Chains A and B, each alone.
Chain A
């Protein structure tokens, strides 16, 4: 009686248009350049600066606008030419072979990249020390590894919610904040050790997840996203304004550092170095932190992979695919969603308390919406649901700009003030759009079945 609401539409596909003649393509590219020109007036063409005196001064940058338009023209032309070629080849291939062998081709890189990434991750401190001629000299690399792994862990945690259960959570960073402040407060006020606080932080975050999730999880997808965003902002605003509790914008500092299961990383007697008969090196703590976040991230990954093979995990995926069908099969959708939400929040809580113990300082600044958006971007770009994809996306999105910053030749090309980090988020945004347009299932889109009948003895 009620029809499905799929909207039939006729889109002139790129492939169909691509075969058209060159003059038409040039005209099309020129149109693109023209629109770019229109968009560039005036935000690109004139830069406002606080000059001498009180008012704003304007600086014309028409050269930049011209360059931008030219770039768009060339890119569009190239896109049309390349896409035309690709679609022609694809047509030829589909004619030649009826059945595509795509899954087999896609599975292979995963089989190599996965273990390779893991291998590098496990030996990074060693590699860094060897590569830069000493543990202290390799600190930059280990710190970068910690940063990337934190995002990998957050990405994997959010992947449970977004990738598996299909719930768009725009306030994920709130649970990260709950974890960080839990550790900060429990350790400074009650003097609890990191190893006691870690599970507590996870539980608190999961508790918040349930508290928020219970009323809102029956909302439709995009409303849920906005409500989680509002929740995230509320947590941040409360942390800023409730000074007695959280220290306000100044945050909480002198949070106790991590110890090696009770043995502190200090120089004196009873410190980590003396107990293990090593020469004291402040890097021991950094390396320990590196392995700590690596283990936390791997646990997140393992639990996720395990969950996918369990009925609850399968119910999450089923929920992502069709909530109404789930209900007709006797699955309590609220509880199922809530469990995904809580588990995701728990891992964010773990990551948060790691963040606090590493920094020794927390402030609301670290938990704004942009942070949620970055984690979401990592999950989206990685291909929602793909563990390896998330890891690769985190490395590319967090690691790459960091590395680019130190490349000399970029500064030579773009001038001394060039900082790739400035463009990082710009590219994040563009990449998210591009991803949705061209590869909505992510870079690594092949879904591995959680169980196979074929592989069993029959």
Chain B
């Protein structure tokens, strides 16, 4: 039971990160119907941005306040990654609207290959470790055999995720951008006719998705304390799995899917085999796509003839 509780906490932490990335997939899919294959690599890139600013702040500027460093790194990473998201959409996806149906996906694969190799070229191929920012843990429960703990790191990750999700939810539900975004999702042509700037709305969607990925990237760095240029691929696929599982296009679905995938992965590793944890995630993806492509909270698709 104690073991289970500990794994549950670990799973939720991991799931928060997946959920944040999954939101980027699901928003882009909702609005332009494309799988943004490069999103995982945007996440990886944001991790690097966070890493470098963390080093600048701690080693060069000598900041010692953990909260301040974390906040600055988070904000800078979000802003700069959002710029990447904007630039990628502008260069690689926007010219393809109206091209043949596989073009955006192929372009996105190109961006994905470019990003991971770009980071490899400019930052080198080796793993980049950072000294742990926070080490403290909160002991939730203790007996002779087990200690169930919630580390500060995990607490920070869950709190940040919850706060940002609340803000994000407000943005999508209550602001004019959110309205425009939802309108474009339903009918892009009609939205354009009603005077919504569709291009700008799509751009903003990418910016927002990238910013959320940056949050995930920063938290990932905080949690694992190491990042490498190839770290975008597997979390990217898992987050996509989360988005599909939750019902692609559905925002609560993405978060829910992320949490489920995080929990499944953690429990699978804990109880079955850690070697096959990625296989588990990929299998879920295949099974969901085959048997319930609309996911848990998604709308079923009607074929248009």
Contact = CB atoms under 8 A, between A and B. Distances in A.
A and B touch in the complex (CB under 8 A): yes
B99 interface: yes
A138 to B, nearest CB: 32
B131 A430 contact: no
Contacts of A231: 282, 286
Given A2-B305, A42-B56, A50-B126, A166 B113 contact: no
Contacts of B131: 54-55
Given A43-B49, A43-B52, A221 B101 contact: yes
A9 interface: yes
Contact of A230 (B55, B109, B286, B304): B286
B34 interface: yes
Contacts of A39: 80, 83-84, 87
A431 B55 CA distance: 34
A7 B189 contact: yes
Interface in B213-241: 233, 237, 240
Interface residues of A, number: 66
A56 B52 CA distance: 9
B113 A2 contact: no
Interface in A125-174: 166, 168, 170
B51 to A, nearest CB: 7
B150 interface: no
Given A221-B102, A223-B293, A425-B117, A47 B124 contact: yes
Interface in B27-44: 34-35
Interface in A431-448: 431-433, 435-437, 440
Contact of B276 (A7, A43, A229, A237): A237
Interface string B165-204: 0000000000000000000000011001000001000000
A8 B129 CA distance: 49
A363 to B, nearest CB: 16
Given A35-B83, A222-B34, A425-B117, A234 B109 contact: no
Interface string A316-338: 00000000100000000000000
B124 A49 contact: yes
B109 to A, nearest CB: 6
B45 A43 contact: yes
Interface in A205-231: 215-216, 219, 221-223, 225-227, 229-231
Interface string B76-117: 000010011001000110011111111111110111111101
A230 B282 contact: yes
Interface string A285-309: 0000000000000000000000000
B283 A433 contact: no
A241 B279 CA distance: 10
A410 interface: no
A109 B99 CA distance: 26
A170 B228 CA distance: 23
Nearest to B46: A43
B118 interface: yes
A432 B123 contact: no
Nearest to B54: A56
B133 interface: no
Given A39-B83, A436-B110, A437-B107, A227 B117 contact: no
Interface stretch (A80-88, A193-201, A373-381, A400-408): A373-381
A437 B93 CA distance: 8
A361 interface: no
Contacts, number: 195
B296 interface: no
B124 A432 contact: no
Interface in A21-80: 35, 38-39, 41-44, 46-50, 54-56, 58
B67 to A, nearest CB: 21
B34 A226 contact: no
A440 B293 contact: no
B101 A223 contact: no
Interface string B275-305: 1101100110110011001000000000111
Contacts of B118: 43, 426, 429
B119 interface: yes
Contact of B278 (A215, A233, A423): A233
A101 interface: no
Nearest to A241: B275
Contact of A425 (B92, B113, B128, B303): B113
B206 interface: no
B272 interface: no
B289 A48 contact: no
B60 to A, nearest CB: 7
A219 B123 CA distance: 38
B107 A230 contact: no
Interface in B238-258: 240
Contacts of A227: 285-286, 289-290
A436 B55 contact: no
Contacts of A123: none
B97 A7 contact: yes
A126 B122 CA distance: 42
B114 A433 contact: yes
A39 B95 CA distance: 20
A230 B99 contact: no
Contacts of B18: none
B91 A433 contact: yes
A8 B99 CA distance: 12
B296 to A, nearest CB: 16
Interface in A373-396: 373, 376-377, 380
Contacts of B105: 168, 221-222, 225
B69 interface: no
A422 interface: yes
B304 A9 contact: no
A42 B104 CA distance: 28
Contact of B107 (A44, A55, A170, A433): A433
A41 B84 CA distance: 11
16 contacts: A5-B304, A35-B87, A43-B49, A46-B52, A58-B52, A168-B106, A219-B290, A227-B286, A237-B276, A241-B275, A241-B276, A426-B121, A429-B115, A433-B107, A436-B99, A437-B91
Q: Sorted from nearest, which 3 A-B pairs have the closest CB atoms?
A: A432-B110, A429-B114, A429-B113
